[in-house]
Amino acid sequence: MDWTDRAEKAANFLTETDEKIAALKVKHEKDRRQSKRTWSAIYLRVEGSVEARKALAEIHPDHETCVAAELTSLLEYEKLRNQRDTAKTVIEFWRSWNKAVKEGEL
């Protein structure tokens, strides 16, 4: 595959994943907020000193489930973001390469 084909494929990938990356970002934000709300709800329900309540809220299974979901959504978002960054790099390389060819440097 030549660089023009790679650049075209990268541009198509970016176009095709615009909405998906936005949706993944929103999902991660929702999961993050749910995790905070769950932590707060647990904190209000448990008994003890402030530090004990914080610790109990942090290790509560419901909060751990929310944190796991938040981390999963963050991983999905970051993987796609990294793929998009790679596609952008391919396009930038193609632009530089194409310019050099047109100017007779290659």
Q: How far does CA 105 lie from the centroid of its chain?
A: 39
Q: Is the pLDDT of residue 105 over 90?
A: no
Least confident of 16-30, 31-45, 89-103: 89-103
pLDDT number for residue 101: 87
Domain boundaries along the sequence of the chain: 22-100
Q: How confident is the model at residue 104 (pLDDT cuts 50, 70, 90)?
A: confident
Q: How confident is the model at residue 96 (pLDDT cuts 50, 70, 90)?
A: very high
pLDDT number for residue 3: 87
Alpha helix segments (H runs only) across 1-106: 3-45, 50-59, 61-102
